[in-house]
Structure 1
Amino acid sequence: MCELLAMSSQQATRLTFSLEALTARSGPASGTRDGWGAAFYQGHDAALFREPIAASDSPLVRLLETQGPNTTLALSHIRRATLGPVTLANTQPYVRELAGRTHVFAHNGHLPGIEQSGKFTHARFQPIGGTDSEHAFCALMERLSDLWRPSIAPPGVETRLAVVAAFAADLRELGPANFLYADGEVLFAHGHRRIQSATGRIEPPGLFLLSRQCSQGNEPLQAEGVSIAPGFQEVTLIASVPLSSEAWRPLAEGEVVAVAAGRLVARQGPSRL
């Protein structure tokens, strides 16, 4: 399956390119060699880098390891193709504009039947490629478009979370549906199921979360393949697998979290109905 990684921080920071940790999983022995991408937010816009090649083979990845832009919010994805050819159009993360800001989405899983389902229709937002993930993103943006209006204040976090959580619940009916979604202010993450290396079975957890507070202003924050520049800082990392020996918290099956400025600000568990 694909690999996901995201960072939210209180202060803008230089991120030693987070895909370094995931690149090892897209090496010759890995199935995740069908593309990579990353989005670095700067305000309401995001610098997007994508290639339909293995991250481990990419000179651009090596450049971003040392020259990546300062950011408070970043998302990355390494692809294992399950639907759609290996092309740039099918390479995540995907981006769309809504209410004058860039929205970013990345998905890990397989969603058979999404194009035929009446729950995932879209009109304004159309896929460019042929993946189930992009179809899902367009459907999510269609649902969110009623909340966002350029002339009024952004909707509250809880209001946004309710829409994202309802969308995630519908998505889980189709198949594994781990995803990251950001609107330039808030990072949303949904944990579901993924192939577990220990068992080979598709089961939870699908994502892990680690929140940190930097107490040493002159030392960088380190994890496997992730380095965040020194500074007094709050940071939350979300990844497909733990990237250090610290106590990463697995997201419960169906849990959706909202993270802003490096801090977990809201969460919603799966429906009990």
Structure 2
Amino acid sequence: MCELFAMSSRVPATLGFSLERLARHGGAEGPHRDGWGLAFYEGADCLLLREPRPASESPLMQFMEHQGLRTKLGLCHIRLATFGALALRNTQPFARELSGRMHVFAHNGDMPTLADLQAKHPARFSPVGDSDSERAFCGLMTALAPVWDDVWGEVPDLTTRLAVIADYARELRALGPANFIYSDSDALFVHADRRTQPNGQLSAPGLYLLQRYCWRTAPELQEAGVNLCSIRQDVALIASVPLTDERWEPLGEGDLIALRDGLCFGADGRQVEPERVAGRQPMPLA
């Protein structure tokens, strides 16, 4: 199966340490040699980088590990192909525009009968490649499109979006493992399901969550004339498997959460207070 990674933070941060750990699984320490992709958000737009080659052997990935952009919202995927050819068109994350925003999606799991589900939905969005993951994304976008059409130029209510995603995810789970991360630039939505575990069993957890906060200096604010020497940084990380020796929280089968500015919101749209350890941080925030 593929591996997913995502970050949501209060202030922009780099992903270098986590990317380096994840890239090792993309060929050097794992079988995920069939492609990788990164999405860095800046407001409503995002920079999308993808290659149908092992992440551990990619000079571009190595460059992003050391010189990557600062972002408040980033997604990453390393691929172990099960459906679709080894090609750029099947390399995740996938992206589509809707209501003037870039929407990005990455999936881990197998859903061979997904075409049957898509027959229920109008084909407003169509896949470029032939993977089940992109089909899942197109179906999700089709389901969400009316919500965004109703508030063109604005962001729909978080609970409304969560409800649509929950209904669609429920259908996906019936077809096979459906771990996915999806962002509409405003929030990062995380749906956890089952995953093939080291013992060969298909079971939860399919994703893990790590939430931390720390205080960091802010020289860029001083340069802008703001008299503030430090700011609080909230960070939430999502990964298919823990990337550090910290206390990652396993998500249960069917769990759906939203992350915004490093904070976590449950399926009802209410903020979930994380367990916080002062003075610790999940990743370098340089």
TM-score, normalization by structure 2: 0.85
Using a 3 Å threshold, how does the CA distance of structure 1 residues 217 and 41 change in structure 2: closer, same or farther? same
RMSD: 1.7
**Structure 1 residue 99: Cα displacement:** 0.1
Amino acid at match of 2:261: A
8 Å Cα contact 1:109/1:194 also seen in 2: yes
Q: Which residue of 2 aligns with 1:133?
A: 133
Q: Which residue of 1 aligns with 2:57?
A: 57
**Structure 1 residue 64: Cα displacement:** 0.5
SS at match of 1:232: strand
Amino acid at match of 2:69: P
Q: Which residue of 2 aligns with 1:250?
A: 250
**Structure 1 residue 164: Cα displacement:** 0.7
Deviation per CA, 1:96-153: give whole Å up to 9, x if none.
0000000000000000110123566342211000000000000000000001036352
Q: Distance in 1 between matches of 2:80 and 2:234?
A: 32
Q: Which residue of 2 aligns with 1:176?
A: 177
TM-score, normalization by structure 1: 0.89
**Structure 1 residue 232: Cα displacement:** 2.7
**Structure 1 residue 37: Cα displacement:** 0.2
SS at match of 2:71: strand
SS at match of 1:147: helix
Using a 3 Å threshold, how does the CA distance of structure 1 residues 111 and 69 change in structure 2: closer, same or farther? same
More helix by share: 2
* Structure with max Cα Rg: 2
8 Å Cα contact 1:51/1:88 also seen in 2: yes
Identity, % of aligned positions: 50
8 Å Cα contact 2:236/2:259 also seen in 1: yes
SS at match of 1:74: strand
Q: Which residue of 2 aligns with 1:30?
A: 30
Using a 3 Å threshold, how does the CA distance of structure 1 residues 84 and 40 change in structure 2: closer, same or farther? same
Amino acid at match of 1:128: V
- Confirm or deny that 1:44 pairs with 2:44: yes
8 Å Cα contact 2:99/2:153 also seen in 1: no
SS at match of 1:146: helix
* 145-154 or 96-105, which deviates more: 145-154
Q: Distance in 2 between matches of 1:97 and 1:48?
A: 13
List runs of 5+ in structure 1 lacking aligned partners: 219-229, 269-273
Q: Distance in 2 between matches of 1:46 and 1:210?
A: 23
8 Å Cα contact 1:122/1:138 also seen in 2: no
SS at match of 2:147: coil
Amino acid at match of 2:167: A
Q: Distance in 2 between matches of 1:178 and 1:4?
A: 9
8 Å Cα contact 1:41/1:184 also seen in 2: yes
Q: Distance in 1 between matches of 2:217 and 2:120?
A: 46
Q: Distance in 1 between matches of 2:6 and 2:178?
A: 16
Q: Which residue of 1 aligns with 2:222?
A: none
Q: Which residue of 2 aligns with 1:93?
A: 93
**Structure 1 residue 15: Cα displacement:** 2.6
Q: Distance in 1 between matches of 2:121 and 2:148?
A: 18
- Confirm or deny that 1:15 pairs with 2:27: no
Q: Which residue of 1 aligns with 2:4?
A: 4
SS at match of 1:66: helix
**Structure 1 residue 243: Cα displacement:** 1.6
Q: Distance in 1 between matches of 2:170 and 2:98?
A: 23
Amino acid at match of 1:175: G
8 Å Cα contact 2:163/2:267 also seen in 1: no
Q: Distance in 1 between matches of 2:118 and 2:23?
A: 37
Q: Distance in 2 between matches of 1:134 and 1:239?
A: 20
**Structure 1 residue 28: Cα displacement:** 4.8
List runs of 5+ in structure 2 lacking aligned partners: 219-229, 269-286
**Structure 1 residue 29: Cα displacement:** 5.7
Equivalent pairs, count: 256
SS at match of 2:232: coil
**Structure 1 residue 183: Cα displacement:** 0.5
Q: Which residue of 2 aligns with 1:211?
A: 211
Deviation per CA, 1:40-91: give whole Å up to 9, x if none.
0000001000000000110000111122111100000000000011000000
**Structure 1 residue 256: Cα displacement:** 0.4
Q: Which residue of 2 aligns with 1:79?
A: 79
Using a 3 Å threshold, how does the CA distance of structure 1 residues 247 and 29 change in structure 2: closer, same or farther? closer
**Structure 1 residue 231: Cα displacement:** 5.5
